[in-house]
Amino acid sequence: MLGALLLVAVLLSVLGGLVVAQRRAQSAADLAALAGAVSVQRGQDACAAVAALVRRNDAELRSCTVAGREVQVVVALTVEAPAGRRLRVDADARAGPVDAVPALTAVP
């Protein structure tokens, strides 16, 4: 019985860590995409700004794509799990001016 409770506690701890890591990864992706979009508007290197912001958030930049005035990024965070395992959590985000997204400009 005690072993089962311990197992449940470990599983809940791992699950909680994954949820927190996913939120952190999504925040890093969102902020990085916004920083990239601002850099595009200023005529600067968007992916350099994205990479710097991702590093400051202790995440890994998986990809940075600039299409016109829109920036899309994918970031990853690595989470330590029991038994020495490492799990990777990915998140993506896109940012740019509203008129860069045709579906949004078509709304009356």
More confident residue, 104 or 75: 75
Instruction: Burial-class residue 68 by CB neighbours within 10 Å (0-12, 13-18, 19+).
Output: exposed
SS3 99: helix
Quick: pLDDT tens for 12-69: 877 787 888 899 999 999 999 999 999 999 999 999 999 999 999 999 999 999 999 9
Contact of 90 with 74, CB cutoff 8 Å = yes
Contact of 62 with 76, CB cutoff 8 Å = yes
Check residue 104 and give its pLDDT: 47
Residue 102 banded pLDDT, cuts 50, 70, 90: low
Check residue 100 and give its pLDDT: 55
Check residue 12 and give its pLDDT: 80
Phi, psi of 66, deg, nearest 5: -115, 120
Q: Which amino acid is at 45?
A: D
- Strands (E) in the chain, as ranges, are 60-67, 70-80, 86-95
Check residue 29 and give its pLDDT: 97
Residue 4 banded pLDDT, cuts 50, 70, 90: confident
